[in-house]
Amino acid sequence: MRRLYRLLTRWWTAFALAASLAMLGAAHAFERFGELAPCNLCLKQREVYWGAVAIALVATLWHLISRGSRGTPRIAAFLLAVVFATGAITAGFHFGGELKWWDLPATCAGGGDINLESLAALALGSGPIEKVVMCDAVTWRFLGLSMAGWNALISAALAVFSLLAAKRPKDARAPRI
């Protein structure tokens, strides 16, 4: 257990980078292969992971280049905790809207930008009709949770692990139990 703790806290930014890329890959796979178009809030949740990728990549590269023996910078782990907590809040808000606990904003009515060309093609009948993806419509469930619900749980877990990595002892030793 102590070795796992030491490994996770020492290389947390690399693990966070891998987890963020895996979440983005899963989201794009659901979109591409599962044909589940994202709503506006789904896209906002992806932005959080892109922010985590940027922070984790810079911190991991810094650790590798500087040959840090004590692990990645603790400030990066704290920043990742803030980013992942933001993702958990965003996903939790989306999940609550799906369950009709509260109303979602009006901007959640559609999933794409409207431009003049697409409107003209629609008016002339020469363009494809794009379905508007509603944020409160659940298109996929697993074990009773939608994608937003799973994302809220995963983001919260990543935030907790990031806080553990941020509070690790300076010499990256596991706490004595």
Q: Hey, what are 65's tokens?
A: 């280049």
The DSSP bridge pattern shows strands 145-146 and 141-142 to be: antiparallel
**Is 80:16 a contact under the CB 8 Å cutoff?**
yes
The closest of 129, 159, 173 to 20, measured between CA atoms, is: 159
**Is 13:77 a contact under the CB 8 Å cutoff?**
yes
Is 0.75 surpassed by the pTM of this model? no
Q: What is the pLDDT of residues 154-174, one digit of tens each?
A: 899 999 888 888 776 555 444
The closest of 160, 176, 6, 1 to 77, measured between CA atoms, is: 160
**Is 140:26 a contact under the CB 8 Å cutoff?**
no
Residues with Cβ within 8 Å of 46's Cβ and at least 6 positions away in sequence, in order, are 24, 27, 38
Q: What is the pLDDT of residues 129-146, one digit of tens each?
A: 555 566 666 676 678 777
Q: How confident is the model at residue 77 (pLDDT cuts 50, 70, 90)?
A: confident
**Is 101:146 a contact under the CB 8 Å cutoff?**
no
The closest of 73, 77, 70 to 16, measured between CA atoms, is: 77
Strand partners, 141: 146
Q: What is the pLDDT of residues 87-115, one digit of tens each?
A: 999 888 878 877 777 777 766 654 455 55
